[in-house]
Structure 1
Amino acid sequence: MEKYSQFRDRGSGISPFLPIPIEERSILLLPFYLFLFVIRVPILIGLSLSYLLFLQWLPIGSLGKKAILWCILGTPGIWWIDLQIDGVRRGSLGTKANKPKLPFPGTVIASSYTSPIDCLYLAAIFDPIFTVSYPNTRSVRRVGLFEAMLHALSYPRDTPPSNARLTTVADLIRDNPDASILVFPECTTTNGRGILPFSTSLLSVGPETKIFPINLRYTPADITTPVPGTWLSFLWNLCSKPTHCIRVRIAEGVYNSAPKSQNTYDTNYFDELDKRETRQRNGATNGDISHNGESSVSKEEKQLLDQIGEALARLGRVKRVNLGVKDKQQFVATWSKNRRIW
């Protein structure tokens, strides 16, 4: 792996884009694994297509949709969920005092991003509105559940598509008060061993809206998809094992207490251009948000992103790294030279 050493974080040595090695299995049990794979894949694809094409459009209510999503989750053996919430003792989640410690309609979920299963599980629990973030803008693109899952195995983009309809998280909250908004601030998937620098998309959230950091980890961890296009290996790792466990950690909600950024119409364009050129000449430091987002980020806004980033790192028992979307693009180019990922 010497050729990929440049894609390790210099401070921690973590390589967030390398696929997790497939755990060794007994050759004697290979027929059993093949049997599980052959049986589960058609059922999984059939249920997924049925939900995508028909069931999600039927008036079966949120509870009915969640039941179908749980059936999709259960098909490949995702039955064990280890859930812990900051400030809540085990067995006391159902009390009224602890209900606000979970995401609820009108709040924002800032989640780690490692696998298409992230989207499926969060949809089955919270039924949120899905968004795609990009490192160079505070705007987001609203997507559906399956488009969000496809994005987890898509080539990482540092700019939105030219025909994309963009909005902000604040606008989505205003227009959809009965739903929570799901944001993946890292913009692209990792192997779960590090937290990437954040997009600035969370900074549009108003001071009255709670943001809940959520980290998801998997056992075995080889169903993470840090490399785009690896659908076959993902399905094999997912469907050929008897069971999987999801470890879910939810931090206490935080508020965006940073003052609103100055309106662009009130800002001199040439002054902002001079500031940007100065920052580029000086180079981006380890904590510089301009490495993975808009350069015009105030100190208070950076503190908010750091607070959420530290929460995700603490929940996942990992560290934050200084590798972003452009680094992953370079990693994928290097990886694909010797491996056929498509």
Structure 2
Amino acid sequence: MSPSENAQLIDLETLVARNPKRYVVVFPECTTSNGRGILPLSPSLLSASPRTKVFPVSVRYTAADITTPIPHTYFTFLWNLCSKPTHCIRTRIAEYVYNPGNRSSIARATALDPLDNSSEAETLVEQDESDVTPTRDEKAFLDKIAEALARLGRVKRVSLGVKEKQEFVAMWTKTKKR
């Protein structure tokens, strides 16, 4: 899965520079979970400027059975959503952290995109592969954010990424057809 040819990709530093008086919200897990774990974070956060405060924010919906639907369960999801008399959203905000360095570029963000299952992104990167791999400081930055989100949400970190979620949905869909 990769952006369309007409997509105008932009890194976080440029987005913040264009909108200096706005807040920018990023969902770094790249996909939704069932609210019981923090998925691996996207390296796209590494394109934030070192001067930008990054606030990990946990958002939890209650009742707990209202989670992102699996394909072909949309009616059950809508029933669970609409049958509740009230909904509550709990928001917790952690202390801000700064990106340890900034090697941002649109090509870098694309090359590190966990949604991209093709090798097309490699052709967009003009740097060698060692420049694309996150440094130890960058990994620590992402880990600090993930740990803060896990602590705020009172959940564990899980290693299931976008690819594993796609495989699960494909298997789920195949099983439901039988």
TM-score, normalization by structure 1: 0.43
**Cα separation, partners in 2 of 1:232 and 1:260, compared to 1, 3 Å:** same
2-structure distance, mates of 1:271, 1:254: 27
**Cα separation, partners in 2 of 1:246 and 1:335, compared to 1, 3 Å:** same
Contact 1:189 1:226 in 2 (8 A): no
What letter matches 1:241 in structure 2? K
Matches within 5 A, 1:63-142: none
Are 2:102 and 1:260 aligned? yes
Measured against aligned partners, the alpha-carbon deviations of 1:15-42 in whole angstroms (never above 9, x if no partner) come to: xxxxxxxxxxxxxxxxxxxxxxxxxxxx
Which residue in the other structure is 1:234 paired with? 77
Contact 1:169 1:204 in 2 (8 A): yes
Are 2:72 and 1:223 aligned? no
Match of 2:27 among 147, 160, 184: 184
Which residue in the other structure is 1:208 paired with? 51
Local SS of the residue matching 1:255: coil
Say which structure is richer in helix. Answer: 1
**Cα separation, partners in 2 of 1:201 and 1:226, compared to 1, 3 Å:** farther
2-structure distance, mates of 1:230, 1:171: 39
Measured against aligned partners, the alpha-carbon deviations of 1:177-206 in whole angstroms (never above 9, x if no partner) come to: 121111111101110111111111111111
1-structure distance, mates of 2:127, 2:46: 22
Greater relative CO (CA pairs within 8 A, separation 6+): 2
1:162 CA displacement: 3.5
Unaligned runs of 5+ in 1: 1-156, 276-293
Contact 2:40 2:161 in 1 (8 A): yes
Contact 1:251 1:315 in 2 (8 A): yes
Measured against aligned partners, the alpha-carbon deviations of 1:195-244 in whole angstroms (never above 9, x if no partner) come to: 11111111111121111111112221122105246433222111111112
What letter matches 2:55 in structure 1? F
1-structure distance, mates of 2:72, 2:6: 23
Which residue in the other structure is 1:129 paired with? none
Measured against aligned partners, the alpha-carbon deviations of 1:87-122 in whole angstroms (never above 9, x if no partner) come to: xxxxxxxxxxxxxxxxxxxxxxxxxxxxxxxxxxxx
Say which structure is richer in strand. Answer: 1
TM-score, normalization by structure 2: 0.79
Which residue in the other structure is 2:114 paired with? none
Match of 1:248 among 91, 95, 102: 91
Match of 2:136 among 282, 299, 306: 299
Matches within 5 A, 1:313-324: 313-324=150-161
Larger Rg: 1
Which residue in the other structure is 1:272 paired with? 128
Match of 1:330 among 158, 167, 170: 167
1-structure distance, mates of 2:52, 2:80: 38
Identity across the alignment (%): 57
2-structure distance, mates of 1:270, 1:170: 19
Are 2:17 and 1:174 aligned? yes
In the alignment of these two chains, the number of paired residues is: 159
What letter matches 2:103 in structure 1? S
Matches within 5 A, 1:135-154: none
